[in-house]
Amino acid sequence: MPSLLRKYCLILLLLCTTTSTWGQDAQFPYPSIPDTITAPTARLSYILQNFWHDYHFADTTQVNKTIGEQGISDYINLLNYADSVTADQAVNQFVQRAWSTPWGRKMFGSLLTHYLGDPQSPLRNDKTYAIFLRHIIFHSHDKAQQSRMEYMYGEISKNQEGRPAADFSFSMKNGTKGSLYGITSPWTLVCFSDPTCDKCQKIMPQVIAAKALQNDSLKVIIVYPEYDKEMWENMAFTLPERWMNVWSPKISSEQLYYLPALPSLYLLDEKKRVVLKDTTLDKLLEFLKKN
């Protein structure tokens, strides 16, 4: 997987220089960008449309696989900077070529799941993953793979950024009932957590200690989305006074949210639209600092 330094060097070389050999030192056969193309958006569009031109999809050697993995990770990074139309056209071209052979279909299907679907991957991006999945579903002749991709597409399409979050009812420890949309606040942070989760035990104290989350304009709701009410009642976390600790098994029974790993943080605006989906604490704090 490329380092963050490599990621930003690629973007800098692509958008801010006019040399046609931006990838000359890499193993992946990056296309040369004509010197006449100088506008950053035009350079990005050109490289995405021609990114795989010289890659040999029919070569099944381990060396080619390694080069392909390098390419797909860089490609994903670049797609994050493209508009939706450019990204969709580029991915369509890529999938048509990659899925034309059983080897390409298997290898790149696995790599996309690893880089875009794994909750631990720093490249994970549901919007980008959805673009790939739509075209894979259309172009794949593997019925089993199509079925898996259709399921995953449905899951990651839930509660996308910019869309209204799914409402859910909940119970509090004092017996009071409520719902997400019944909460009135300029900002709402929904934190799905499980006391049996090792990662939750590590991260939740950091969430609770974050001063930026303790202000009057933000309502924080800690949600246990599983069925074990006794487990929720025995949660050991001591929360700030304004925060809510609630139990909502409806989330799991009706599969309202896609929660591949916990804890999972969702930041909502006043109208309960998703601003940040399944984000990290660092990204959340950075956003709140700017807004």
Per-residue pLDDT of the chain (291 residues; tens, 9 = 90+): 444 445 545 655 555 554 445 554 558 898 888 889 888 889 999 999 999 999 999 999 999 999 999 999 999 999 989 999 999 999 999 999 999 999 999 999 999 999 999 988 989 999 999 999 999 999 988 888 889 999 999 999 999 999 999 999 999 988 899 999 999 999 999 999 998 888 988 999 999 999 999 989 999 999 999 999 988 888 766 788 889 999 999 999 999 999 999 999 999 999 999 999 999 999 999 999 998
For position 75, what pLDDT does the model report?
A: 95
Angle between helices 62-79 and 40-50 (to 10 degrees): 150
What are 159's two structure tokens?
A: 């509660």
CA distance 110 to 287: 32
CA distance 16 to 35: 12
For the chain, domains (ranges, CATH) are: 4-156 (no CATH), 169-290 (3.40.30.10)
φ, ψ (nearest 5 deg) of residue 97: -75, -45
Half-sphere exposure of 123 (CA within 13 A, CB side): 23
What's the pTM? 0.84
Residue 31 contacts residue 50 (beta carbons within 8 Å): yes
